[in-house]
Amino acid sequence: MKIALLSGKGGAGKTFLAVNLAYCARRHEQSAAYIDCDVEEPNGHLFFPFPVKERETVFTLIPSFNKEKCTSCRACADFCKFNALVFIKKTPMLLAEMCHACGGCSLVCPEKAITEAKRPIGMIETRQYENLSCYSGILNIGEASGIKIIQSLLQKDGGDFSVIDCPPGCACSVMESIEDADLCILIAEPTAFGLHNLNMVYELTAIMKKKTAVIINKEQSTPYEPLTNFCRQHNLPILAKIPFDRELGQTLSEGTAAYGTNKKFSSLTDNIYAQIKAMS
Ligand code: SF4
Ligand code: SF4
């Protein structure tokens, strides 16, 4: 089973919950995985203090020009919507960091003067703790798109239960991360801003026709009713309301998983896991 955790912004608690769900799943399943698709700023590995077992470079394909065949017709540059192709003295030149590797320019070239070449854009690190795998995607600084790394991450062996930690927001990198997810869990904070963010990611999962549930994090003593009303209106099950807790916050800041050490939080996570399994 693949579950994806999303939130409209960073800091809602997505990574902390994803990591702890992965630790919880390894207790109940033969094998489990945590997959960090937040490739621009991966930090889930901080909760897996184990040596890197494998480092794998991820490549993208960029256009390479055959000057002998090129007639300077400019069809390639006219096609590129990312302005990654410029002409210098009638010769096409690539601004590699702006290329989104769509392959379109090579398709439109009437002279077949463009082939594709490999260019490294980042890497995947694999860590292993008994039956739990941790995969972290790392995009090189300055690169325009981490989609290729996310695609490579999602081809990894996720075992019986994989937890996908999505990038924040709802850009194309998030769409790619949830593409094959069996269940999307939206992490929401009980504030007006939190509700706005929840609505954003909910619209995305609705468009993609994904089975969706919500976890409310940092719940205050007085519940924020508009958030629960929103979930009711859209038939979104609330799997848990995690209270604002300084002890949990401290555990997070120390880079320690709370599952297995914090009794109350462990049973809450077990309960979330049981509900996820019941929804499958
Ligand atoms: S592969 Fe796509 S994004 Fe890259 S230069 Fe060609 S048209 Fe532009
Ligand atoms: S489309 Fe092909 S022939 Fe035309 S400028 Fe680009 S590389 Fe040259």
User: What mean pLDDT value characterizes the chain?
Assistant: 94
Q: Does any ligand 1 atom lie closer than 6 A to the CB of residue 102? A: yes
Asked whether residue 119 is domain-assigned, the answer is: no
From the number of C-beta atoms within 10 Å of its C-beta (0-12, 13-18, 19+), residue 279 rates as middle
Which whole number is the average pLDDT over 114-120? 94
Does residue 272 share a domain with residue 204?
yes
Q: Does any ligand 1 atom lie closer than 6 A to the CB of residue 101? A: yes
pLDDT given at position 249:
87
Query: If DSSP codes are grouped into helix, strand and coil, which group holds residue 257?
Result: coil
Q: Counting atoms of ligand 1 from 1, which one is nearest the CA of 76?
A: 7
Asked whether residue 118 is domain-assigned, the answer is: no
Does residue 216 share a domain with residue 145?
yes
Q: What number of other Cβ atoms are within 10 A of residue 27's Cβ? A: 15
CATH number, domain with residue 271 = 3.40.50.300
Q: Tell which one of 65, 83, 105 to mutate to probe ligand 1, the residue whose CB is within 8 A of the most ligand atoms.
A: 105
Q: Counting atoms of ligand 2 from 1, which one is nearest the CA of 105?
A: 1
Does residue 144 share a domain with residue 96?
no
Does residue 162 share a domain with residue 100?
no
Q: Does any ligand 1 atom lie closer than 6 A to the CB of residue 77? A: no
Structure tokens at 261: 């050490």
The answer, yes or no, to whether residue 254 has pLDDT greater than 90, is no
The protein residue with its alpha carbon nearest to ligand 2, atom 3, reads 70
> Cα of 210 to ligand 2 centre, how many Å?
42
Which whole number is the average pLDDT over 85-109? 92
Rounded CA-CA distance 165/146 in Å is: 14
For residue 256, the enclosing domain spans: 2-58+125-279
Does residue 211 share a domain with residue 169?
yes
Q: Tell which one of 68, 70, 78, 108 to mutate to probe ligand 2, the residue whose CB is within 8 A of the most ligand atoms.
A: 70
The answer, yes or no, to whether residue 226 has pLDDT greater than 90, is yes
Q: Tell which one of 61, 87, 102 to mutate to probe ligand 1, the residue whose CB is within 8 A of the most ligand atoms.
A: 102
Which whole number is the average pLDDT over 136-153? 93
Sequence-ordered strand ranges (E) for 173-270? 183-188, 212-219, 238-243
pLDDT given at position 97:
84
Rounded CA-CA distance 127/33 in Å is: 10
Task: Return the percentage of the chain with pLDDT > 70, whole number.
Answer: 100
- Token look-up 């995305």 returns 204
Does residue 229 share a domain with residue 99?
no
The protein residue with its alpha carbon nearest to ligand 1, atom 2, reads 102
* Residues 6+ positions from 164 with CB-CB distance below 8 Å: 2, 3, 4, 5, 18, 35, 37, 154, 177, 178, 181
Asked whether residue 138 is domain-assigned, the answer is: yes
Asked whether residue 194 is domain-assigned, the answer is: yes
The answer, yes or no, to whether residue 144 has pLDDT greater than 90, is no
Does residue 132 share a domain with residue 107?
no
pTM of the model: 0.88
**Number of independent structural domains in the chain:** 2
- Token look-up 């994090």 returns 217
> Cα of 58 to ligand 1 centre, how many Å?
18
Rounded CA-CA distance 204/93 in Å is: 36
Q: Tell which one of 60, 65, 79, 100 to mutate to probe ligand 1, the residue whose CB is within 8 A of the most ligand atoms.
A: 100
pLDDT given at position 220:
85
pLDDT given at position 214:
97
Asked whether residue 83 is domain-assigned, the answer is: yes
Asked whether residue 120 is domain-assigned, the answer is: no
pLDDT range class, residue 111, cuts 50, 70, 90: very high
The set of protein residues with a Cβ atom below 6 angstroms from ligand 2 is 65, 70-76, 92, 109, 111, 113-114
7-36 per-position pLDDT tens digit: 998 888 999 999 999 999 999 999 999 999
Q: Alpha helix locations (H) across the chain?
A: 14-28, 75-79, 104-108, 147-153, 172-178, 192-207, 225-233, 246-253, 263-279
242-251 per-position pLDDT tens digit: 988 888 888 8
Does residue 215 share a domain with residue 84?
no
State the first-to-last Cα distance of the chain, in angstroms, to the nearest integer: 8
> Cα of 84 to ligand 2 centre, how many Å?
14
pLDDT given at position 129:
93
The answer, yes or no, to whether residue 6 has pLDDT greater than 90, is yes
Does residue 95 share a domain with residue 226?
no
Asked whether residue 217 is domain-assigned, the answer is: yes
Asked whether residue 250 is domain-assigned, the answer is: yes
Does residue 80 share a domain with residue 176?
no
CATH number, domain with residue 93 = 3.30.70.20
Does residue 174 share a domain with residue 45?
yes
Does residue 51 share a domain with residue 74?
no
Half-sphere exposure (Cβ direction) of 231: Cα atoms closer than 13 Å: 24
Rounded CA-CA distance 202/215 in Å is: 12
Closest of 184, 214, 151, 279 to residue 12, by C-alpha = 214
> Cα of 82 to ligand 1 centre, how many Å?
7
